[in-house]
Amino acid sequence: MKTIMFTCEVITPMFLAGADGSTPELRPASIKGAMRFWWRAMNGGLVRKDEQGRWDYSELKKRESEIFGGTSQRSSFSIDVGCSV
């Protein structure tokens, strides 16, 4: 397995809270969700109209599931969040 490590710094305010509403919590699923959102936004050109004029999302969904996982396969990467203050 190949590992790539990024060290990131938050430069804008983040309003994150855990289940109790007061403990800060940054979860890998939240980061992956944001990455998936932006991937869809940047790859909207994969959506086409079919012969009946309906939007066809099949190519977008196929490629998205190859990267981020789906109902039939796991994600091609994982995220681990650590914190240093």
**pLDDT, tens only, 29-84:** 888 999 999 999 999 999 999 999 999 999 999 999 999 998 888 998 888 887 66
Average pLDDT rounded to a whole number, residues 21-35: 85
Taking each helix axis from N to C terminus, what angle separates 28-42 and 58-68, rounded to the nearest 10 degrees? 150
Number of domains in the chain: 1
Give domain status of residue 63, yes or no. Answer: yes
* Residues spanned by the domain of 61: 41-48+55-71
Give domain status of residue 66, yes or no. Answer: yes
- Distance (Å, whole) CA 14 – CA 25: 10
> What is this structure's pTM?
0.75
Average pLDDT rounded to a whole number, residues 11-28: 80
More confident residue, 65 or 24: 65
Confidence of residue 11 (pLDDT cuts 50, 70, 90): confident
